[in-house]
Amino acid sequence: AQSVTQLGSHVSVSEGALVLLRCNYSSSVPPYLFWYVQYPNQGLQLLLKYTTGATLVKGINGFEAEFKKSETSFHLTKPSAHMSDAAEYFCAVTLWGNNRLAFGKGNQVVVIP
Amino acid sequence: DTGVSQNPRHKITKRGQNVTFRCDPISEHNRLYWYRQTLGQGPEFLTYFQNEAQLEKSRLLSDRFSAERPKGSFSTLEIQRTEQGDSAMYLCASSLGLAEYNEQFFGPGTRLTVL
Protein backbone atom coordinates (compact mmCIF):
# COMPACT_ATOMS: atom_id res chain seq x y z
CA ALA A 1 0.00 0.00 0.00
CA GLN A 2 1.16 3.51 -0.68
CA SER A 3 1.90 6.06 2.03
CA VAL A 4 3.65 9.38 2.58
CA THR A 5 5.61 10.76 5.50
CA GLN A 6 5.78 14.43 6.41
CA LEU A 7 8.02 15.28 9.32
CA GLY A 8 7.65 18.27 11.60
CA SER A 9 4.00 19.17 12.09
CA HIS A 10 4.73 22.90 12.56
CA VAL A 11 7.17 24.81 10.38
CA SER A 12 8.09 28.43 11.08
CA VAL A 13 9.66 30.51 8.34
CA SER A 14 10.58 34.17 8.17
CA GLU A 15 8.93 36.34 5.55
CA GLY A 16 11.18 36.34 2.49
CA ALA A 17 13.00 33.15 3.47
CA LEU A 18 12.97 29.79 1.70
CA VAL A 19 10.03 27.52 2.36
CA LEU A 20 10.98 23.82 2.37
CA LEU A 21 8.47 21.10 3.24
CA ARG A 22 9.66 17.50 3.06
CA CYS A 23 7.66 14.55 1.79
CA ASN A 24 8.84 10.97 1.41
CA TYR A 25 6.67 8.31 -0.10
CA SER A 26 6.50 4.55 0.09
CA SER A 27 5.38 2.70 -3.01
CA SER A 28 6.39 -0.43 -4.86
CA VAL A 29 5.34 1.04 -8.21
CA PRO A 30 5.73 4.50 -9.76
CA PRO A 31 3.53 6.90 -7.83
CA TYR A 32 1.47 9.93 -8.66
CA LEU A 33 2.32 12.65 -6.12
CA PHE A 34 0.45 15.77 -5.04
CA TRP A 35 0.76 18.75 -2.75
CA TYR A 36 -2.42 20.33 -1.41
CA VAL A 37 -2.83 23.48 0.69
CA GLN A 38 -5.60 24.09 3.21
CA TYR A 39 -6.50 27.58 4.39
CA PRO A 40 -8.73 28.00 7.45
CA ASN A 41 -12.39 27.26 6.74
CA GLN A 42 -11.63 26.38 3.14
CA GLY A 43 -11.34 23.14 1.20
CA LEU A 44 -8.03 21.66 0.20
CA GLN A 45 -6.61 23.21 -2.95
CA LEU A 46 -4.17 21.54 -5.31
CA LEU A 47 -0.78 23.26 -5.47
CA LEU A 48 0.90 20.91 -7.94
CA LYS A 49 1.19 17.29 -8.96
CA TYR A 50 3.64 14.86 -10.51
CA THR A 51 2.42 12.15 -12.86
CA THR A 52 5.13 11.32 -15.40
CA GLY A 53 7.78 13.17 -17.37
CA ALA A 54 9.60 16.21 -16.04
CA THR A 55 10.61 15.65 -12.44
CA LEU A 56 10.57 19.35 -11.50
CA VAL A 57 6.98 20.44 -11.24
CA LYS A 58 5.85 24.04 -10.94
CA GLY A 59 2.61 24.92 -9.25
CA ILE A 60 0.54 27.88 -8.20
CA ASN A 61 1.64 30.72 -5.94
CA GLY A 62 5.33 30.25 -6.80
CA PHE A 63 5.65 26.74 -5.35
CA GLU A 64 7.53 23.91 -6.99
CA ALA A 65 8.47 20.33 -6.12
CA GLU A 66 10.98 17.83 -7.44
CA PHE A 67 10.33 14.11 -7.77
CA LYS A 68 13.46 12.13 -6.83
CA LYS A 69 12.93 8.43 -7.33
CA SER A 70 16.29 7.47 -5.82
CA GLU A 71 15.37 9.28 -2.60
CA THR A 72 11.63 8.46 -2.74
CA SER A 73 11.00 12.14 -2.12
CA PHE A 74 8.78 14.93 -3.36
CA HIS A 75 9.82 18.01 -1.37
CA LEU A 76 7.95 21.31 -1.79
CA THR A 77 9.81 24.61 -2.02
CA LYS A 78 9.18 28.29 -2.50
CA PRO A 79 12.12 30.71 -2.74
CA SER A 80 10.56 33.55 -0.75
CA ALA A 81 7.78 33.14 1.81
CA HIS A 82 4.85 35.57 1.92
CA MET A 83 2.50 36.12 4.81
CA SER A 84 -0.26 34.67 2.65
CA ASP A 85 1.57 31.32 2.60
CA ALA A 86 0.51 30.65 6.19
CA ALA A 87 -1.63 27.51 5.89
CA GLU A 88 -1.50 23.75 6.27
CA TYR A 89 0.20 21.75 3.54
CA PHE A 90 -0.43 18.10 2.73
CA CYS A 91 1.53 15.71 0.57
CA ALA A 92 -0.47 12.88 -0.99
CA VAL A 93 0.13 9.85 -3.19
CA THR A 94 -1.88 7.53 -5.36
CA LEU A 95 -1.04 4.75 -7.79
CA TRP A 96 -2.16 3.56 -11.19
CA GLY A 97 -5.40 1.65 -10.75
CA ASN A 98 -5.92 3.05 -7.26
CA ASN A 99 -8.39 5.86 -6.93
CA ARG A 100 -7.83 6.95 -3.37
CA LEU A 101 -5.38 9.57 -2.20
CA ALA A 102 -3.22 8.72 0.79
CA PHE A 103 -2.28 11.87 2.66
CA GLY A 104 0.54 12.69 5.05
CA LYS A 105 -0.15 14.26 8.43
CA GLY A 106 0.46 17.76 7.11
CA ASN A 107 2.71 20.72 7.92
CA GLN A 108 1.29 23.83 9.55
CA VAL A 109 3.32 26.72 8.14
CA VAL A 110 3.68 29.91 10.17
CA VAL A 111 5.23 32.93 8.49
CA ILE A 112 7.03 35.32 10.82
CA PRO A 113 7.11 38.98 9.77
CA ASP B 1 -18.26 26.65 -11.48
CA THR B 2 -19.41 27.07 -7.92
CA GLY B 3 -17.15 24.46 -6.38
CA VAL B 4 -17.96 21.52 -4.13
CA SER B 5 -20.47 22.34 -1.41
CA GLN B 6 -21.19 20.45 1.79
CA ASN B 7 -24.05 20.75 4.22
CA PRO B 8 -24.28 21.22 7.07
CA ARG B 9 -20.94 22.85 7.84
CA HIS B 10 -21.22 21.91 11.50
CA LYS B 11 -23.19 19.20 13.24
CA ILE B 12 -23.41 18.54 16.96
CA THR B 13 -25.18 15.38 18.01
CA LYS B 14 -25.54 13.12 20.98
CA ARG B 15 -24.00 9.68 21.11
CA GLY B 16 -26.29 7.09 19.59
CA GLN B 17 -28.02 9.43 17.17
CA ASN B 18 -27.90 9.06 13.39
CA VAL B 19 -26.48 11.84 11.23
CA THR B 20 -26.49 12.47 7.49
CA PHE B 21 -24.22 14.78 5.53
CA ARG B 22 -24.75 16.01 2.00
CA CYS B 23 -22.20 16.77 -0.70
CA ASP B 24 -22.92 18.54 -3.98
CA PRO B 25 -20.02 18.04 -6.40
CA ILE B 26 -18.97 20.28 -9.23
CA SER B 27 -21.49 19.91 -12.02
CA GLU B 28 -20.68 17.06 -14.43
CA HIS B 29 -17.88 15.65 -12.28
CA ASN B 30 -18.31 11.90 -12.56
CA ARG B 31 -16.29 10.93 -9.50
CA LEU B 32 -17.09 11.75 -5.92
CA TYR B 33 -14.99 10.90 -2.86
CA TRP B 34 -15.49 10.97 0.90
CA TYR B 35 -12.63 11.44 3.35
CA ARG B 36 -12.42 11.87 7.12
CA GLN B 37 -9.94 14.16 8.81
CA THR B 38 -9.20 14.09 12.53
CA LEU B 39 -7.18 16.65 14.46
CA GLY B 40 -3.51 16.61 13.55
CA GLN B 41 -3.97 14.10 10.74
CA GLY B 42 -4.30 14.26 7.01
CA PRO B 43 -7.53 13.25 5.29
CA GLU B 44 -8.28 9.52 5.33
CA PHE B 45 -10.07 7.95 2.38
CA LEU B 46 -13.48 6.40 3.08
CA THR B 47 -15.22 5.63 -0.21
CA TYR B 48 -15.74 6.83 -3.75
CA PHE B 49 -18.33 6.80 -6.54
CA GLN B 50 -18.07 6.79 -10.26
CA ASN B 51 -21.38 8.27 -11.38
CA GLU B 52 -23.93 6.40 -9.23
CA ALA B 53 -21.80 3.29 -8.68
CA GLN B 54 -19.93 2.95 -5.40
CA LEU B 55 -16.69 1.37 -6.58
CA GLU B 56 -14.84 1.12 -3.31
CA LYS B 57 -16.24 0.99 0.18
CA SER B 58 -13.81 -1.26 1.96
CA ARG B 59 -12.36 1.74 3.79
CA LEU B 60 -15.61 2.76 5.40
CA LEU B 61 -14.82 2.63 9.08
CA SER B 62 -17.56 0.27 10.15
CA ASP B 63 -20.98 -0.96 9.07
CA ARG B 64 -22.42 2.10 10.81
CA PHE B 65 -21.14 4.16 7.88
CA SER B 66 -22.90 4.19 4.54
CA ALA B 67 -22.90 6.42 1.50
CA GLU B 68 -25.13 6.88 -1.51
CA ARG B 69 -25.05 8.83 -4.72
CA PRO B 70 -28.46 8.46 -6.33
CA LYS B 71 -28.60 9.48 -9.97
CA GLY B 72 -24.91 10.25 -9.95
CA SER B 73 -25.30 13.79 -8.70
CA PHE B 74 -25.18 14.71 -4.99
CA SER B 75 -24.08 12.23 -2.36
CA THR B 76 -24.97 11.56 1.25
CA LEU B 77 -22.87 10.02 4.00
CA GLU B 78 -24.78 8.56 6.92
CA ILE B 79 -23.42 7.51 10.28
CA GLN B 80 -25.74 5.44 12.43
CA ARG B 81 -25.52 5.16 16.20
CA THR B 82 -22.80 7.78 16.43
CA GLU B 83 -19.93 7.35 18.86
CA GLN B 84 -17.60 9.96 20.33
CA GLY B 85 -14.80 8.58 18.17
CA ASP B 86 -16.75 9.64 15.08
CA SER B 87 -16.05 13.30 15.89
CA ALA B 88 -14.06 14.60 12.94
CA MET B 89 -14.18 16.69 9.79
CA TYR B 90 -15.84 14.86 6.90
CA LEU B 91 -14.59 16.00 3.50
CA CYS B 92 -16.09 15.50 0.09
CA ALA B 93 -14.21 15.85 -3.19
CA SER B 94 -15.08 15.45 -6.86
CA SER B 95 -13.11 14.98 -10.05
CA LEU B 96 -13.71 14.77 -13.78
CA GLY B 97 -12.54 11.82 -15.83
CA LEU B 98 -11.15 8.38 -15.06
CA ALA B 99 -7.42 8.92 -14.48
CA GLU B 100 -6.12 8.39 -10.97
CA TYR B 101 -4.08 11.60 -11.17
CA ASN B 102 -6.97 13.90 -12.06
CA GLU B 103 -7.31 16.76 -9.62
CA GLN B 104 -9.74 16.19 -6.80
CA PHE B 105 -11.62 19.36 -5.84
CA PHE B 106 -12.48 19.47 -2.16
CA GLY B 107 -15.41 21.00 -0.34
CA PRO B 108 -15.04 22.91 2.94
CA GLY B 109 -16.10 19.91 5.01
CA THR B 110 -18.69 19.08 7.66
CA ARG B 111 -17.40 19.17 11.22
CA LEU B 112 -19.11 16.55 13.38
CA THR B 113 -19.04 16.73 17.16
CA VAL B 114 -20.50 13.79 19.07
CA LEU B 115 -21.26 14.54 22.73
Low-confidence ranges of chain A (pLDDT < 50): none
Residues in B touching A105 (Cβ below 8 Å) = 40-42
Query: Amino acid letter at A62?
Result: G
By CB atoms closer than 10 A (0-12, 13-18, 19+), residue B56 is middle
| Residues 6+ positions from A68 with CB-CB distance below 8 Å | A55, A74
pLDDT in tens, A9-19: 899 999 999 99
pLDDT in tens, B96-114: 988 888 899 999 999 999 9
pLDDT band at B24; cut points 50, 70, 90: very high
| Residues 6+ positions from A52 with CB-CB distance below 8 Å | A30
Residues in B touching A7 (Cβ below 8 Å) = none
pLDDT at B108: 94
DSSP sequence for B2-21: ---EEE-SEEEE-TT--EEE
pLDDT at B1: 55
Phi-psi region of B85 (alpha: psi -120 to 50; beta: other; left: phi over 0): alpha
Q: What is the mean pLDDT of residues B82-94?
A: 97
pLDDT at B100: 80
Position B92 pLDDT exceeds 60 = yes
B101 contacts A51? CB cut-off 8 A = yes
